[in-house]
Amino acid sequence: MTQSATELQKAIFAALGGDGALAALLGVAKIHDHAPAHVAFPYITFGRTSVFDWSTGTENGDEQLLTLHVWSKAQGKKETLAIMERAKTLLHDAPLELTGYRLISLRLEFSEVRFDEDASVHHGLMRFRALIEAAEA
């Protein structure tokens, strides 16, 4: 059910990219699957996605763990935390629409902000857990 991971990422991208308040925090809607070279800070990237099958004899579904990364060169953690808070507001328990699937739940399970001394950036991590089932045909 890796197609469900693609559908979830598209829905998350649309939810984040379509929000004016998040775009204001980022400067523009800078959300990337993989950041291009020389992208301006701050921005968000998609990180690791893990998919676990929980299908039964009568239902098809999966559990996904997905990570969003927030990158900022601002002094202090304030900008990173503000971007993360807005992303949480947009995604936690959001009723996102997926083509061919039904999102049962999407919950923020873990977040962290740390300073990467080598790159001189604040790096925010947000790990979400999603439960998805195949739409009835």
Tokens describing residue 53? 């099958």
Q: Are 104 and 133 in contact (CB under 8 A)?
A: yes
Model confidence at 9, pLDDT cuts 50, 70, 90, reads: very high
Report the alpha-carbon distance of residue 30 to residue 14 in Å, rounded.
12
Q: How confident is the model at residue 25, as a pLDDT?
A: 97
Q: Which of 110, 125, 130, 115 is nearest to 46 (CA)?
A: 125
Report the alpha-carbon distance of residue 130 to residue 66 in Å, rounded.
8
pLDDT digits (tens, 9 = 90+) for 85-116: 999 999 999 999 999 999 999 999 999 999 99
pLDDT digits (tens, 9 = 90+) for 13-72: 999 999 999 999 999 889 999 998 999 999 999 999 999 998 888 888 999 999 999 999
Report the alpha-carbon distance of residue 43 to residue 30 in Å, rounded.
5
Q: How confident is the model at residue 81, as a pLDDT?
A: 98
